[in-house]
Structure 1
Amino acid sequence: MSSARSPIRYPDARSAPVMTKRAWWLVVLNTVLPGSPQVLAGNRKLGRFGLRLTLTVLILGIIAGVAWVLWPQVVLTVFTSTIGLWVAALALAFCAVAWAVLSIDTIRLARLVRTSPKARPIIAGLAVVLMAFTSGTAAYGAYVATTASGFLSSVFSAGPSEPPVDGRYNILLLGGDAGPGRDGLRPDSISVVSIDAKTGQATMIGLPRDLENVPFPADSPLADIYPEGYGAIDGCDVSACMLNSIYTEMELKRPELYPDAAAQASSPGIEAMRDAAQGVTGLSIQYYVLIDMQGFTDLIDALGGVDINVKERLPIGGDEQFNNVDGWVEAGQQHMDGYTALWYGRARHGTSDYDRMARQRVLQEAILKQFNPANVLTKFQAVATAGAQVVKTDVPQGMLGYFVDLASKTKKQPINSVELVPENDVNPEDPDYDYIRSLIDKALAPPASPTPAP
Structure 2
Amino acid sequence: MTLAAPRASERSVRPLIETHPIRHPDPQDADAMGRRAWWLIVLNVLIPGSAQVLAGSRRLGRFGLGATLFGWAVIIIAAGLALFSRQSVIWLVSGPLSWFVLTLVQVLLVGYLVLWIVLTLDTLRLLRVIKLPVITRWAAPIASVLVLALIGSGVVFAAGAVASGRGALGTVFGNSGPSLPPSDGYYNILLLGADSGDGRDSMRFDSISVVSVNATTGAMTITGIPREMPHPPFSEGSPMRALYPDGFESHSDKTCGWNPWMNQVRNAAEVCREDHGAGLYPDAALHGSAPGIEATKDAAEGVLGIEIPYYAFVDMNGFADLVDALGGVDITVTERLPKGGPPPGSGAHDVDDWAIGWIEPGEQHMDGDTAQWYARSRYTTSDYDRMKRQRQLQEAILAQFTPENVLANFGAVMDASTALASTDLPQDKLPEFFDLMMKAKAQPVTRIELTPENGIDEKDPDYELVREMVHDALHPPKKETPES
What TM-score, normalized to structure 2? 0.85
* Structure 1 position 412, deviation (Å): 1.4
Give the 5 Å matches for 1:61-76. Answer: 61-76=75-90
> Which position in structure 2 is the counterpart of 1:313?
336
The counterpart of 1:279, out of the listed 286, 299, 302, is 302
The CA distance in 1 between the partners of 2:464 and 2:284, in whole Å, is 29
Q: Say if 1:129 and 1:179 are closer, same or farther in 2 by CA, change over 3 A.
A: closer
Alignment correspondent of 2:185: 167
Partners of 2:26 and 2:32 within 8 A in 1: yes
Aligned residue among 432, 450, 466 for 1:402: 432
Alpha-carbon distance in 1 for matches of 2:419, 2:320: 11
The CA deviation string for residues 274-293 of structure 1, in whole angstroms up to 9 with x for no partner, is 11111111111121100011
Cα pair 2:211 2:221 within 8 Å, conserved = yes
Relative distance call for 1:390 and 1:99 in structure 2 (3 A) is same
Alpha-carbon offset, residue 64 of structure 1: 1.6
SS of the residue corresponding to residue 231 of structure 1 reads coil
- Give me the whole-angstrom Cα distance separating, in 2, the residues matched to 1:337 and 1:209: 26
- Compute the displacement of 1:341 (Å): 3.7
Question: Could you tell me whether the CA contact under 8 Å between 2:160 and 2:411 is conserved in 1?
Answer: no
Checking the alignment, whether the CA contact within 8 Å between 2:359 and 2:370 is kept in structure 1 is: no
Residues 408-451 of structure 1: CA deviation (Å, up to 9, x unaligned): 11111111111111121111321111211111111112673663
Candidates 139, 145, 159, aligned match of 1:142: 159
**Contact kept? 1:329, 1:340, Cα under 8 Å:** no
Give 1:441's match in structure 2, choosing from 459, 465, 471: 471
Decide whether aligned partners of structure 1 residues 30 and 373 sit closer, same or farther in structure 2, where only a CA change above 3 A counts: farther
Name the CA shift for 1:65/1:305 in 2 (closer, same or farther; >3 Å).
closer
When structure 1 is superposed on structure 2, of 171-180 and 96-105 the one drifting more is 171-180
Residue 276 of structure 2 corresponds to residue 257 of structure 1: no
Of residues 137, 142, 149, the one that matches 1:125 is 142
Bigger mean CA offset, 237-246 vs 287-296: 237-246
More deviation in 53-62 or 291-300? 291-300
Q: 1:182 to 1:269 in 2, by over 3 A?
A: closer
Residue of structure 2 in register with 1:293 after alignment? 316
- The verdict on how the C-alpha distance between 1:405 and 1:114 changes in structure 2, with shifts beyond 3 A counting, is farther
Partner of 1:327: 356
Cα distance in structure 1, aligned partners of 2:223 and 2:374: 22
- Which has the higher mean CA deviation after the structures are superposed, 235-244 or 423-432? 235-244
Partners of 1:9 and 1:447 in 2: CA distance:
79
Tell me, yes or no, if the aligned pair for 2:234 and 2:241 is still in contact at 8 Å: yes
1:85-100 correspondence to structure 2 within 5 Å: 85-100=102-117
Q: Which residue of 2 aligns with 1:220?
A: 238
Match of 2:260 in 1: 241
Q: Which segments of 5 or more consecutive residues in structure 1 lack a partner in the other structure?
A: none
Shift of 1:369: 5.3
Match of 1:415 in 2: 445
> Which residue of structure 2 aligns with residue 187 of structure 1?
205
Q: How does 1:44-59 map to 2 (within 5 A)?
A: 44-59=58-73
Q: CA deviation at 1:45?
A: 1.0
Aligned to 2:291: 268
In the alignment, the residues of structure 1 paired with residue 65 and residue 41 of structure 2 have an alpha-carbon distance, to the nearest angstrom, of 15
Q: How many residues align?
A: 452
8 Å contact from structure 1 (residues 153, 397) kept in 2: no
1:430 to 438, 460, 469: 460
Contact 2:209 2:222 in 1 (8 A): yes
Q: For residues 26-75 of structure 1, what are the alpha-carbon distances to aligned partners after superposition, in whole Å with 9 as ceiling and x for unaligned?
A: 11111111111111111111111111111111111111222223322221
What are the superposed Cα offsets for residues 321-372 of structure 1, whole Å, 9 maximum, x if unpaired? 5374142323135555554443332222121101111222334444555666
Aligned to 2:345: none
| Cα distance change, pair 433–261 in 1 and its aligned pair in 2 (3 A) | same
Between 1:52-61 and 1:223-232, the stretch displaced more is 223-232
Per-residue CA deviations over 1:198-241 (Å, capped at 9, x if unaligned) read 22111111111121221111110011111111128x88973321
- Maintained 8 Å contact 1:16/1:116: yes
The higher radius of gyration belongs to: 2
Aligned residue runs from structure 1 range 354-373, under 5 A? 354-368=384-398
Flag the 1:415–1:339 CA change in 2: closer, same or farther, 3 A: closer
**What is residue 195 of structure 2 aligned with on the other side?**
177
**2:132 maps to 1:115:** yes
CA deviations on 1:125-171 (whole Å, 9 max, x unpaired) are 22112222343332322221112211221111344422112222111
Instruction: Report the secondary structure of 2:122's partner residue.
Output: helix
Moved more, 206-215 or 62-71: 62-71
Q: Please, which runs of 5 or more residues in structure 2 have no aligned partner?
A: 1-13, 343-347
Pick which of 312-321 and 33-42 moved more: 312-321
User: Structure 1 residues 412, 335: closer, same or farther in 2, change over 3 A?
Assistant: closer
Distance, in Å, in 2 between the alignment partners of 1:133 and 1:120 is 21
Letter in 2 for 1:239: W
CA RMSD of the aligned region, Å?
2.8
31, 55, 58: which is aligned to 1:17?
31
Task: Kindly indicate whether residue 43 of structure 2 is the aligned counterpart of residue 29 of structure 1.
Answer: yes
Counterpart amino acid of residue 296 in structure 2: M
Q: Is the 8 A contact 1:158 1:397 kept in 2?
A: no
Q: 3-state DSSP class of the match of 2:206? A: strand
Quick check: 1:229 aligned with 2:247?
yes
Partner-residue secondary structure (3-state), 1:257: coil
Of residues 180-189 and 164-173 in structure 1, the stretch that sits farther from structure 2 once superposed is: 180-189
Q: Distance in 2 between matches of 1:68 and 1:379?
A: 17
Amino acid at match of 1:275: D
Contact 2:359 2:374 in 1 (8 A): no
- Greater CA deviation, 3-12 or 29-38? 3-12
SS in 1 for 2:229: coil
Cα separation, partners in 2 of 1:28 and 1:449, compared to 1, 3 Å: farther
- 2: distance between equivalents of 1:307 and 1:399? 29
Instruction: Report sequence identity in percent.
Output: 46
Any residues of structure 2 matched to 1:78-89 within 5 Å, and which? 78-80=92-94, 81-89=98-106
Q: CA deviation at 1:393?
A: 0.5
Q: Normalization by structure 1: what TM-score?
A: 0.90
1:188–1:209 CA contact under 8 A, matched in 2: yes
Indicate the SS of the match to 1:8: coil
